[in-house]
Amino acid sequence: MFKNFFQKAPNNIVVDTTDLDMNNIPQHIAIIMDGNGRWAKAQGKVRTYGHKAGAEVLKTIVRAADKIGVKVLTVYAFSTENWKRPLEEVNFIMDLLCLYLTKEIDEFNANNVQVRFIGTRQGMSEKVLEKMDYALEATKDNTGIILNIAVNYGSQLEIVEAVRKIAAQAAAGEIVAADIDEATIENNLYTAGLPAPDLLIRPGGDVRISNFLLWQIAYAEIYYTKTYWPDFKPEDLVDAIRVFQGRERRFGGLSD
Ligand code: IPE
Ligand code: IPE
Ligand code: MG
């Protein structure tokens, strides 16, 4: 089923940035890669066909984001709630991830992409975990864009796990309750060390967060589009950034 899989993403991806203010590029963009199943269904294909197409699109969007100057791209690939789907679909997505991580390593290295993951390892198969660990290790010295892949990720569980870690530190006498602040929580999330997303993009037409980065998007600008993820193009990324640049971020303060 994975015959002829993963053509190389074109190296000469053209991104027209004429409409963008290059001094105000979001440093961290998060994307909920949604709409794969509906995209496939619309063309009379099985849902898994959409996941394959979605994985291809990711390669192009990573390149485009890098060209634009984005420093971190966090993409939602599989949620802790997605286990509710039919086993066949879940297995397909896991196989796809393994293949993606295997086939793309050379491309990541050629393009200086550093791969990271957020999510829980609990419930993941050894095979997938091995591929993830390998990709992490093989790209760890790359200094270009960070591709942060959310796999088996749920934001509520992330917060639960952070609270557990902090409680253990308190029990060990390493921290006292009164010293717990926002930074303590942040430093114990999977995203520790990364800046908060400036822009959250959800393709696929749904207007919800679906348990993604609840803490981290406190002041992110949110952009929705009806375009399904497999149809998402560098132009759509540029559109989202243009809309972002038209917004006024006040962080609770007042306009100048
Ligand atoms: C997103 O596409 C990919 C995953 C959640 C794994 P969907 O599979 O949710 O596609 P739709 O939303 O059903 O169209
Ligand atoms: C969010 O999409 C998760 C991913 C894109 C991986 P879902 O399709 O799972 O979200 P809901 O079920 O529509 O909220
Ligand atoms: Mg969906």
Residue-wise pLDDT for 70-103, tens only, equals 999 999 999 999 999 999 999 999 999 999 999 9
pLDDT tier for residue 233 given thresholds of 50, 70 and 90: very high
DSSP code at position 225: -
Residues 6+ away with beta carbon under 8 Å from 133? none
- For residue 76, which atom of ligand 2 is closest to its CA? 6
- pLDDT-based confidence at residue 4 (cuts at 50, 70, 90): low
Q: 12: Cβ–Cβ under 8 A, 6 or more apart, which residues?
A: none
Helix (H) / strand (E) containing 147: strand 146-153
Residue 34 is a catalytic residue:
yes
Active site residue 82: yes
Q: Which of 36, 82, 133, 142 is catalytic?
A: 82
Among residues 34, 73, 45, which one has the least CA distance to residue 204? 34
Nearest Cα residue to atom 3 of ligand 2: 79
pLDDT of residue 11 exceeding 90, the answer is no
Residue nearest to atom 6 of ligand 1 (CA): 78
Type of residue numbered 235: E
- 């509520």: which residue's tokens? 156
Between residues 4 and 201, the one the model is more confident about:
201
Cβ-based neighbour number of residue 150 at 10 Å: 27
Burial class of 24 by CB neighbour count within 10 A (0 to 12, 13 to 18, 19+) = exposed
* 246 has a pLDDT exceeding 80: yes
**Can you list the alpha helix ranges (DSSP code H) found in 140-195?**
155-171, 182-187
206-215, pLDDT tens digit by residue? Answer: 999 999 999 9
